[in-house]
Structure 1
Amino acid sequence: MLPKVARDAAAEGVIDPMVLVESDILLVRLYGALKRLVWPEERRPANKDQGLRLWEQVAIDTVRGATPEELGPATGLFIHQTGARLANGPGEYCTELFRLQDRPFYYAPIGKWFRELPSQRPGSGPSGG
């Protein structure tokens, strides 16, 4: 049985519960974090499910479309009300921080989460576990 956040993610089409793959863990983790996020001045009743907001879908699709080669240990996802962007390393971090300096944003440590997957742990072998 899937945990509640995974069931909710499946109900909203973030993951397919019939064909689960290891990288779905990233999507469920991100989904769980984003569903709790409310931007300043945003009205979102806690007792009413309103489906995925556009920026949530963009953030999830950004991670879904990333290849393992793009997800280094320092990869982060900068999420704001109008989209999301992956950043790798100090230069890209600084660019995103400068670009978002006057806007609220959420940072998700996607690279760290990716490295915590069982297939990425030392000794898991090239087959992915």
Structure 2
Amino acid sequence: MRTAPGGWSLRALAQEAHVLPKVARDAADEGVIDAHHIVESDIVLVRLYGALKRLVWPEERRPANKDQGLRVWESITIETARAALPDEVQPDTGLFVHQTGCELATGPGPYCSALFKLASEPFYYAPLGLWFTELPSRRLTNEVVGSAR
């Protein structure tokens, strides 16, 4: 198993992202993450990648036995998430994924706007903020803050 200089292996990354090791390997093979330079925020990207690869929109035909690479909207969504991590992500940040891309939303106003825009089409909601707060370094920070109360 390949290990990054910081100590993250693809297997450990997959375990933290709650996906199968194959999903982390596929993410590395498709360029979503760099297997030789894994950083902690890659956990969120692999978790998102795993969710997106399972999505099939209504009327979309995707043979299960054929690898088709990243679809355009998957690439847009992953790059939007990558650009937002970690600076623009708050605990309530979410990503509304639809067939043509995604909407990044933090707070009630942007949430309502995204829901209004997507009211008549299917979408998937990815709780980026929640996933980010579940990162190992954030869990330690949250535990220290929680025990200080």
For residue 42 of structure 2, what is the aligned residue in structure 1?
24
Point out the structure with the larger helix share.
Answer: 2
Q: Which has the higher contact order (CA 8 A, sep 6+)?
A: 1
Segments of 5+ residues of structure 2 without an aligned counterpart are 2-9, 11-20, 145-149
For residue 69 of structure 1, what is the aligned residue in structure 2?
87
1:83 aligns with 2:113: no
CA contact (8 A) 2:76 2:102 kept: yes
Deviations 1:33-58 (A, max 9, x none): 00000000000001100000000000
Aligned residue type for 1:64? R
1:37 aligns with 2:55: yes
1:46 aligns with 2:64: yes
2:124 to 97, 106, 118: 106
Q: How does 1:54-65 map to 2 (within 5 A)?
A: 54-65=72-83
Pairs aligned (count): 125
Structure whose alpha-carbon radius of gyration is higher: 2
* Separation of aligned partners in 2, 1:66 and 1:4: 25
3-state DSSP of counterpart to 1:35: helix
Runs ≥4 in structure 1, deviation > 6 angstroms?
none
Kindly report the root-mean-square deviation, in angstroms, between the aligned alpha carbons of the 2 structures.
1.4
3-state DSSP of counterpart to 2:51: helix
Segments of 5+ residues of structure 1 without an aligned counterpart are none
Give the share of equivalent positions with the same residue, in percent: 70
Aligned residue type for 1:57? S
